Amino acid sequence: MGFWDRRLFGDSRVWVCGQASGDVLEVAIGSGLNLPYYPPGIRLVGVDISPPMLAIARRRAAEHSLQADLREGDAHQLALPDASFDTVVCTFSLCAIPDERQAVAEMTRLLRPGGLLLLADHVAGRSRPVRALQRGLELISVPVGGEHFLRRPLNTARSAGLDIERQERFGPAGIVERLAARKPAHQPR
Burial 22-44 (b: 16+ CB within 10 A, else e): ebbbbbbbbbbbbbeebeeebeb
Minimum CB distance to ligand SAM, residue 33 (Å): 4
Give least dist CB 64 to ligand SAM, A: 15
- Is the CB of 9 or the CB of 124 nearer to ligand SAM? 9
CA–CA distance, 93 with 48 (Å, rounded to integer): 10
**Applying CB under 6 A, which residues contact ligand SAM?**
1, 28-30, 33-34, 48-50, 53, 74-76, 91-93, 96-97
- Closer of 29 and 188 to ligand SAM (Cβ): 29
Residues 127 and 168: their CA atoms lie apart, in Å, by: 17
What secondary structure does DSSP assign to 87-116, as a single string?
EEEEES-TTTSS-HHHHHHHHHHHEEEEEE
| Smallest separation, CB 57 to ligand SAM (Å) | 9
* Choice between 4 and 185, CB closer to ligand SAM: 4
Other Cβ atoms closer than 10 A to 96 = 17
Spatial distance between the Cα atoms of 11 and 19, rounded to a whole number of angstroms = 13
Query: Cβ closer to ligand SAM: 90 or 111?
Result: 90
Which amino acid, 178? R
51 vs 128 by CB, closer to ligand SAM? 51
Nearest distance from C-beta of residue 129 to ligand SAM, angstroms: 25
Give residue number: closest CB to ligand SAM.
30
